[in-house]
Amino acid sequence: MKKAIEMAQVISQKPLGNDIYDMILHAPQVAREAVAGQFVSVYAKDASKLLPRPISLCGIDREAGTIRLVYRVTGENTGTKEFSQLTDGDEIRIMGPLGNGFTVLPGKKAFLIGGGIGVPPMLQLAKDIKAGVAQGLVDDNGEKTGEIPAIQIVMGYRDAATFLLDEFEEQGESFVATEDGSVGTKGNVMDAIRENVLEADVIYACGPMPMLRALKEYAAQQGMECYISMEERMACGIGACLACVCGSKDKDEHSNVHNKRICKEGPVFDAKEVEL
């Protein structure tokens, strides 16, 4: 899959609360190649910030040539803070699409699970599955290769600031867990699954490591397949620097050790392949 460096133009940007921002960029080269689960590297204009910031794709509109980034500002003197101050018409350098996205198993009832800033990348996947255009559901000619799976969406938040939830509800049956119990189930996504007696054949998930670890264990106990997108601090974003490796079952061809580069072989993995 091709990746490109391009100057993307800001179409719109708005805050979603709790330091979360929603930005749409005109980036036709990236939009043309991207699939759900991939990310882009976004470069700050501040020369002191040498490394780009990896941000998952929340939305892809190939016809309009736009991508949607929903991200969290991580501090005052950061690249993400700079990005949050961009306005309509501003330009910013990006590289992408990067990494490997989700491949959907046809016909298997699925959990789509997101936690925290792992919520945004699950939205495009939900839309693609509903429309029958997810990677793995169509061939190179756009012909469907199997049955579109039923989905149950489970999202985890800290509190009542349930950003993007209304959009998830448009895609399928949705359930919520909040740490403080202000919305839905009090607790985490596993609590929501158990409280609502939910069942599925396969898990697609993105979120913090404790959540992914719990889902991997749950999937093993239930005999389910589980595909996870790992939120790891990245540096180069193209697999050259080995700053974002995780332990793996098999040896990595690049380093010849039991590691996987999250930015290159991931960020989406079969949970059985990686050590959490």
CATH number for 259: 2.10.240.10
Q: Are residues 77 and 116 in the same domain?
A: no
Q: Are residues 82 and 117 in the same domain?
A: no
Domain count, the chain: 3
Query: Does residue 23 contact residue 8 with C-beta atoms inside 8 Å?
Result: no
Q: Are residues 94 and 117 in the same domain?
A: no
Q: Which of 257, 146, 155 shows the shortest CA–CA distance to 198?
A: 155
Exposure on the CB side of residue 157, measured as CA atoms within 13 A: 19
Query: Does residue 45 contact residue 52 with C-beta atoms inside 8 Å?
Result: no
Q: Are residues 166 and 119 in the same domain?
A: yes
Q: Are residues 75 and 46 in the same domain?
A: yes
Q: Are residues 128 and 225 in the same domain?
A: yes
Q: Are residues 211 and 165 in the same domain?
A: yes
Rounded to two decimals, what is the model's pTM?
0.90
Q: Are residues 221 and 261 in the same domain?
A: no
Whether the per-residue pLDDT at 45 is higher than 70: the answer is yes
CA geometry: angle at 150 spanning 272 and 115, to 5°?
A: 55
| Residue 264, domain extent | 232-270
Q: Are residues 66 and 151 in the same domain?
A: no
**Mean pLDDT of all residues in 83-108:** 95
pLDDT in tens, 119-162: 999 999 999 999 998 988 987 777 888 899 999 999 999 999 99
Q: Evaluate whether residue 89 is within a structural domain.
A: yes
